[in-house]
């Protein structure tokens, strides 16, 4: 037999829960979504012309700094790291970076061309990219226009015997025009483009020294 006291208590509990839920909804009636941004998305103006002097490059999986590899924008102020509020990359930064690398090799006049995993045996060299820094640096304080820092270590090895061909660090710093996302995002575009352009040129020069296969 159910105690007559338990029925009203249960009813009161359900009513209280409904009130609590109503209160939660009213606290945040209109939550603004985070802005979505991207970098390195400029399309190649034209396809690379066919060249008998071109050589294949197999790019190994990119190594990306853990703090910045996701879809959040990392900032550093006086040595303190934080993520920029209400801002996200449209895809994880490591994904956008790899897409930018592919575009850089496609649009550049360098003889180096990236090959797929299935074509790795046809490549003259392997390229390993390690993104060490990918961040917004507030070097002049939290209210001043920041700098975008992109630091990439590139390592090339010969495919047939894995001998080291080159090991170099590329650093690009681009100051944003203002301390606003509308100015910071273009700075990422410029920094990534500058670093990748230098890497493509360096890979092309390194491969040109290899004996013809």
Please report, for the chain, the start and end positions of each structural domain, with discontinuous segments joined by +: 35-208
Query: What pLDDT does 42 receive?
Result: 57
Q: What is the pLDDT of residue 26?
A: 34
CATH class of this structure's domain 35-208: alpha beta
Helix segments in the chain, DSSP class H: 6-27, 93-107, 181-208
- Alpha-carbon separation of residue 108 from 11, 113, 148 (angstroms): 71, 9, 23
> What is the band of 61 on the pLDDT scale with cuts at 50, 70, 90?
very high
User: Does residue 31 surpass a pLDDT of 80?
Assistant: no
């Amino acid at each position: 037999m159910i105690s007559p006291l338990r029925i009203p208590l249960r009813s009161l509990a359900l009513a209280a829960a409904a009130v609590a839920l109503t209160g939660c909804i009213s606290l945040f009636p209109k939550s603004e979504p985070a802005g979505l941004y991207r970098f390195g998305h400029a399309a190649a103006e034209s396809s690379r012309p066919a060249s008998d002097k071109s050589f294949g490059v197999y790019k190994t999986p990119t190594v990306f700094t853990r703090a910045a590899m996701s879809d959040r924008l990392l900032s550093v102020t006086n040595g303190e790291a934080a993520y920029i509020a209400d801002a996200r990359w449209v895809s994880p930064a490591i994904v956008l970076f790899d897409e930018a690398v592919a575009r850089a090799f496609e649009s550049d006049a360098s003889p180096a061309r990236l090959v797929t995993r299935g074509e790795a045996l046809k490549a003259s060299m392997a390229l390993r990219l390690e993104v060490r820094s990918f961040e917004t640096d507030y070097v002049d304080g939290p209210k001043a226009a920041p700098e975008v820092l992109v630091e990439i270590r590139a390592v090339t090895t010969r495919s047939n015997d894995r001998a080291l061909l080159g090991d170099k660090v590329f650093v690009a710093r681009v100051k944003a025009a203002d301390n606003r996302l509308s100015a910071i995002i273009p700075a990422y575009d410029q920094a990534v483009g500058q670093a990748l352009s230098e890497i493509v040129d360096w890979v092309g020069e390194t491969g040109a020294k290899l004996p013809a296969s």
